[in-house]
Amino acid sequence: MDMDIRIPIGLLFVVLGAILTGLGLFTMNDAELYARSLGRNINLWTGLLMLVFGALMLLFPYLAYRKRSKS
């Protein structure tokens, strides 16, 4: 069995990124919550970055599998 470690890591980042993005979207208008971060919605931006990173971690094994199956 050929398990790639990038798959569970990518899934973890996608799930946690989706949770943080959702939290950031639902608390977007709460100025008091984001006062300590100079008014920046840290949950939203961190969640989006985690989603991108998780998607890349899932994309790389997929591309490697396609390359391996063509050869």
Q: Is residue 44 part of a domain?
A: yes
Q: Is residue 3 part of a domain?
A: no
pLDDT of residue 67: 85
- Between CA 63 and CA 10 the distance in angstroms is 14
Per-residue model confidence as pLDDT tens for the chain (71 residues):
478 899 999 999 999 999 999 999 999 888 888 888 888 999 999 999 999 999 999 999 999 888 888 76
Q: Is residue 2 part of a domain?
A: no
H-state helical runs in the chain = 6-26, 42-70
Domain span at residue 27 reads: 12-66
Q: What per-residue string of b and e applies to 17-53 under the rule 16 or more CB within 10 Å gives b?
A: beebbeebeeeeeeeeebeeeeeebebbebbbebbee
Q: Is residue 53 part of a domain?
A: yes
pLDDT of residue 71: 67
Number of folded domains in the chain? 1
Query: Is 20 in contact with 43 (CB distance < 8 Å)?
Result: yes
Q: Is residue 4 part of a domain?
A: no
